[in-house]
Amino acid sequence: MPQILVEILLTLACALAVGRLLDRLHVPGGMMVGAVIGACVLGVFFGQAYMPGPAKTIAQIIAGAFIGSGIRREDLAEMKTIIRPALILLPCLLAVNIIAGLLIYATGKMDLLTALMCCVPGGISDIPMIAADMGADPSIVVTMQFIRLVLGIGVFPILIKVFTGGDGKEVAVEQKKTKKTYQAGNVALTFAVAAVCGLIGKISPVPSGTMGFATLGSIIFAVSFPGRAQMPKLLRKLAQMLSGAYVGASIGAQQVRVLMTMGTPVLIIVCAYLIACFGIGFLLYKAGCFTRAEGMLAATPAGASDMALISADIGVQNAKLIVLQVMRLIIVVLFFPTILSFVVALFA
């Protein structure tokens, strides 16, 4: 058996084992968090963790299909209401990005551009590549972005559940306990629509196009053919595992060594986004945009696909929240680097 196939199977096995354990312990996002831990441990201690890029693509497609399949025609009329929370969320995130970056720069651990790019609330796959193009240190950026991602998928959902009571009464409309039935043909068709649209989005120049297009295609399918768009919970768990395994496998001994020398910058990022999660979430709640839990999830510095896969685990099922996360990711990737380059120029 080829070595690369052995590494993929080992990574999946470790990701599934730890993910299943945390999921059974009812840890929010447990399948994804456990998959990250399992794959990361395998890579750091044994050097045999590997997940190909298509794993993340499949996870994003499933996440998009999962979101889109739950949209109804009456939900579309409410989508225009995300403009108001976006006008609150994005400037606040930019302010947090700049302040945290300046504080990290003040520690003397890295140059200003690298410090600012470490704090960008974008995708872990997109931001390091953009940082490298701009002249920042991509190895430091990817390591610090991993910390941001771990906070987003492993720490903040637990804090949000504890802070909001964890009883689901406030975070979402109580779901009916009727058991849903799924038809294999409808599930396959829903995935096929999402896959085709997601792959078109992947080759497009649109940031995070895979998930964005998969979501859009699934919404159109769900609205055009009511009742045909179906995605069972098992596939969402599969997507969580694949996404977590991909992230965990990308962290090796080199990234751990970098982290060992970055204690103060890591502490700054943790504190900055902890304040942002609670502070911006409170603003969104007070503005009447979301419930407390939804507002905090909107301000959580994780990816849109990660939030789509985790939010249901803590009782939040609001399509507007996920659409806002997708919008955030696109705007952050498109505009934040340019704005940050102006900040660097001001301090040059």
In a domain, 8, yes or no: yes
Judged against a pLDDT cut of 50, whether residue 309 lies above it is answered with yes
In a domain, 143, yes or no: yes
The highest-confidence range among 104-108, 202-206, 230-234, by mean pLDDT, is: 104-108
Mean pLDDT, the chain, rounded, equals: 82
Per-residue CA distances from 347 to 133, 319, 341 (Å): 20, 40, 10
- Domain of 298, CATH number, reads 1.20.1530
How far, in Å, CA of 324 to CA of 303, rounded? 11
In a domain, 158, yes or no: yes
pTM for the model: 0.67
Tell me what pLDDT residue 300 has. 84
How far, in Å, CA of 24 to CA of 18, rounded? 10
In a domain, 177, yes or no: no
Confidence of residue 172 (pLDDT cuts 50, 70, 90): very low
In a domain, 325, yes or no: yes
In a domain, 208, yes or no: yes
Dihedral sign, CA of 93, 97, 98, 104?
Answer: positive
What is the count of structural domains for the chain? 1
In a domain, 176, yes or no: no
Residue 33 has φ and ψ, to the nearest 5°, of -60, -45
Residue 235 has φ and ψ, to the nearest 5°, of -70, -35
Residue-number span of the structural domain to which 59 is assigned = 3-171+182-347
Cβ proximity of 112 and 131 under 8 Å? no
Within 10 A of 302 (CB to CB), how many other CB atoms are there?
A: 28
How deeply is 163 buried, as exposed, middle or buried, from its count of CB atoms within 10 A (0-12, 13-18, 19+)?
middle
Of 83-87, 157-161, 222-226, least confident by mean pLDDT is 157-161
Tell me what pLDDT residue 28 has. 64
Confidence of residue 229 (pLDDT cuts 50, 70, 90): confident
How far, in Å, CA of 329 to CA of 339, rounded? 15
Mean pLDDT of 72-90: 80
Per-residue model confidence as pLDDT tens digits over 174-190 = 344 445 678 889 999 99
Angle, helices 138-150/263-286, rounded to nearest 10 degrees: 50
Tell me what pLDDT residue 327 has. 77
Judged against a pLDDT cut of 50, whether residue 193 lies above it is answered with yes
Mean pLDDT of 257-279: 88
How far, in Å, CA of 149 to CA of 255, rounded? 14
Residue with tokens 């903040």: 156
Mean pLDDT of 72-82: 72
Mean pLDDT of 257-276: 88
Judged against a pLDDT cut of 50, whether residue 109 lies above it is answered with yes
